[in-house]
Structure 1
């Protein structure tokens, strides 16, 4: 029996270096926006993140997310280990792989560095949400955190808003100052602050990109009109936002079922009656599609609660696999499953 085209497709390994060659900010934005829209318009079939808690720092776990996109040829799953303390040891906190399957006979066709893919898609999704919700003239951005995602959020958000000033806070002031120095060398007016409250003052956009298990951002500090991307906490036991922040902000999420089970500060606020589910404006993809509201005024405090959803991983993985094949990149492996 002759082999089908799907059966003839090579099994490709795409490592960090290949992904860096294939990716651009424009491609990351396009994939992130497409995935967020598909999450809300029904094109994506997916489930909430499944985690197995592991010993160690709060948030340490084995994580699995999976999705199928009706308009893409490959479906798949991302399996990661999440070790929040890795940054202190010079390693990424998210390490693992995305495995892709073709839809004709379900054969595995690709294995992709999941940590590098996650790094690109997380910051790109924040940029898409920021473009939808922040004030267009936003020029000052605060970062609570100074790791890989802080760097990536500067790169992405400065492409869609005229960011000139950076205000940086982290638990180690010396490290925050070193990070600010690197950003000054890159052309930004960057300053490190001893307290998070000082760093938040005067910001137009704020990104929480920490591995903290307890809140680092108080809603009492938020100036009118600010947009917040809450990115760092991805399991219910960790939270970067306090209750005042949840209550003061208009909140959009990436995937409502995930937010209602994994966004610890939202789950707790709803469970205790501090807010109701109607306090959440909806999914950011629905706002992009026009089926949910966006920012209502220049004074409104908007917040994008990012958890990362499987559709983002599989949308980007499809792009990487197809582009790698077109350009002859990646390592082809004999893997006759």
Structure 2
């Protein structure tokens, strides 16, 4: 695992953002398979095509464009399915100006799949040519979701956390927890990672697996102990009820609330919301699917002033970021179509350039 210094990370991300904005600004792909053929890009191939630094740059582009109006998108549409809370069929669709392909991500969500050894989110991102409407690619959605979620957390953490933040607490020990260690380590010089999960034995196994490259990873048997004294806290669970209490947070902590992507799930309690200044990825989504925010707002329990705005607006300079060293900041992540479209476009174009993927006839 490569943990770069803060200044170096800033330079890398700044340079990468410039490169990828130029790359993605073409109105047509550099080359594409001819005829009515679809390029299938599987998960392992997609993962190989995007580095951590590239993922962070792409996430920043998508979040900026979400907030400046150049991304045209709608909220996530879901069909609830029988079974555990949060089980659903989900669709997100969007288009980003000056990027070659628009599209939609369709996937199933099965929160208990971690226990089955399967991804909780499975499906595909389907891309279409802007001019003709021809479908050109189907990209594995688990790979896209797996890389763009921690990348967006990294962008928010770089923007909102203290620059000296170095202790990371993870509530959850699944795939997203592991990806968050690597991705957040690219923008903050992590000295220790604290991890908690419902099964302490699994939390210890996770800690042992990720204790490499000089990084200290420690399992805790209570969430409170894991959070106590942490600078950055990430909730990466599929919890129906809160696993993070606001009373545990130290002044100056930054929180990435990541796992609850539909209103039926909730990882953070009311005290966490009340103690925090809140940024979201996409306001229409937050006001319909972040029940930990919109429910207390609608009932008048919290004031609208706590919700500062979209993280992309903070990146673009139209709203503020962190106010001071003691402020508790919260990034409420839901995932937005623009992220999936930007990532899938990049993966598709790179696959075409390298001759990767499998073509099928429609």
Give the TM-score category using the shorter length: over 0.9
Q: Does 1:233 align with 2:260?
A: yes
Give, in whole Å, the separation in 1 of the partners of 2:241 and 2:44.
Answer: 34
Give, in whole Å, the separation in 2 of the partners of 1:229 and 1:213.
Answer: 17
Give, in whole Å, the separation in 2 of the partners of 1:224 and 1:178.
Answer: 30
Give, in whole Å, the separation in 1 of the partners of 2:80 and 2:139.
Answer: 24
What SS does the aligned partner of 1:300 have? Answer: coil
Q: Does 1:219 align with 2:228?
A: no
Name the counterpart of 1:79: 106
What SS does the aligned partner of 1:97 have? Answer: strand
Residue 9 of structure 1: how far off its partner (Å) = 7.6
Residue 169 of structure 1: how far off its partner (Å) = 0.6
Asked if the contact 1:6/1:104 (under 8 Å) is kept, the reply is no
Aligned to 1:131, which of 158, 167, 177?
A: 158
State the Cα RMSD in Å: 1.4
Give, in whole Å, the separation in 2 of the partners of 1:44 and 1:9.
Answer: 27
Q: Which segments of 5 or more consecutive residues in structure 2 lack a partner in the other structure?
A: 1-30
Q: Does 1:294 align with 2:294?
A: no
Residue 21 of structure 1: how far off its partner (Å) = 2.0
Name the counterpart of 1:107: 134
- The Cα offsets for residues 214-269 of structure 1, whole Å up to 9 and x where unpaired, read as 00000000000010000000111110010000000000000000000000100111
Name the counterpart of 2:232: 205
Asked if the contact 1:241/1:265 (under 8 Å) is kept, the reply is yes
What SS does the aligned partner of 1:159 have? Answer: coil
Aligned to 1:263, which of 272, 282, 290?
A: 290
- The Cα offsets for residues 64-106 of structure 1, whole Å up to 9 and x where unpaired, read as 0000011101000000100000001101100000000001111
Residue 6 of structure 1: how far off its partner (Å) = 8.8
Give, in whole Å, the separation in 2 of the partners of 1:144 and 1:163.
Answer: 16
Give, in whole Å, the separation in 2 of the partners of 1:75 and 1:111.
Answer: 12
Matches within 5 A, 1:245-284: 245-284=272-311
Give, in whole Å, the separation in 2 of the partners of 1:135 and 1:84.
Answer: 32
Q: Relative to 1, partners in 2 of residues 1:5 and 1:125: Cα closer, same or farther, differing over 3 Å?
A: closer
Name the counterpart of 1:323: 350
Give, in whole Å, the separation in 1 of the partners of 2:262 and 2:131.
Answer: 34
Name the counterpart of 2:192: 165
Residue 186 of structure 1: how far off its partner (Å) = 4.5
Residue 181 of structure 1: how far off its partner (Å) = 1.1
Name the counterpart of 2:169: 142
- The Cα offsets for residues 33-69 of structure 1, whole Å up to 9 and x where unpaired, read as 0000000001100000000001111100000000001
Name the counterpart of 1:55: 82
Give, in whole Å, the separation in 1 of the partners of 2:304 and 2:79.
Answer: 27
Residue 128 of structure 1: how far off its partner (Å) = 0.6
Asked if the contact 1:7/1:107 (under 8 Å) is kept, the reply is no
- The Cα offsets for residues 255-307 of structure 1, whole Å up to 9 and x where unpaired, read as 00000000010011112211133320000000000001100101100010000
Name the counterpart of 2:340: 313
Residue 5 of structure 1: how far off its partner (Å) = 7.9
Residue 184 of structure 1: how far off its partner (Å) = 1.7
Residue 185 of structure 1: how far off its partner (Å) = 3.6
Give, in whole Å, the separation in 2 of the partners of 1:243 and 1:314.
Answer: 33
Give, in whole Å, the separation in 2 of the partners of 1:59 and 1:146.
Answer: 18
Give, in whole Å, the separation in 1 of the partners of 2:316 and 2:139.
Answer: 30
Matches within 5 A, 1:177-192: 177-192=204-219
Q: Does 1:88 align with 2:122?
A: no
Residue 124 of structure 1: how far off its partner (Å) = 0.4
Q: TM-score, normalised by structure 1?
A: 0.96
Q: What is the number of residues matched between the two proteins?
A: 332
Name the counterpart of 1:16: 43
Give, in whole Å, the separation in 2 of the partners of 1:274 and 1:105.
Answer: 49
